[in-house]
Structure 1
């Protein structure tokens, strides 16, 4: 990883909290000129420290307030099954995250659905037909204690 200084770290912290800050607002907060600030932000983006900008949406307002985690165990762990599974998961709008993991199962899927009926449909129509799926275990979230995308900088 390329070294970044404290000013770069401050820029990253501020942008992570509020990606809508204007360059002028950001420059004022870090005590640099607008030109120097813009150059730093461009460099941080070019070097991959900033991957993009987005708005956080309310799952409840959008009817997606049921959060589930699904452990998925495959019947075969071969490259073609892994690739087919990953391709199929990428196409599902319900899947928020999917991680291949080490341990007692192969994938951990995080999904947001409208409710239990929608989850049952998601499980039977999306997860179970995925290539190589042998077994699943589902965990419905009762309360989100902490949910963040912020990284310590």
Structure 2
């Protein structure tokens, strides 16, 4: 059942995670960018909070499929050795090595994936801020050279 749902939703999940990755990075960049007015900062802060909460809620609900699928495995480990048949052993091995989770074609959605997703956003944001600072420094040096008539 989960495989059928996953097959039908994997494209939507991939597009959704890509959307959130791009737009959270852009919103955070504009929020941290200096020179914005108070109204712009307030707008971006409200918009960013809404976007982040929506992404986090969607991610946690999708990761819950994986979390709930692990619960029968805990029960299978509690089965005594006298009641342990080959079917129980096979089912336990299948649950251990074939994780059940929603995927985005390229990744499975688990809580660790969510952590990686948000750490990727923070990494991109730091790179964008560093590039923005380098661009400001280059512009300032260029303006200084033009003022002093240096080549």
TM-score scaled to structure 1, two decimals?
A: 0.24
Say which structure is richer in strand: 1
Higher helix share: 2
Determine which structure has greater relative contact order: mean sequence separation of CA pairs < 8 Å that are 6+ residues apart, divided by chain length.
2
Instruction: Kindly name which structure, 1 or 2, has the bigger radius of gyration based on alpha carbons.
Output: 2
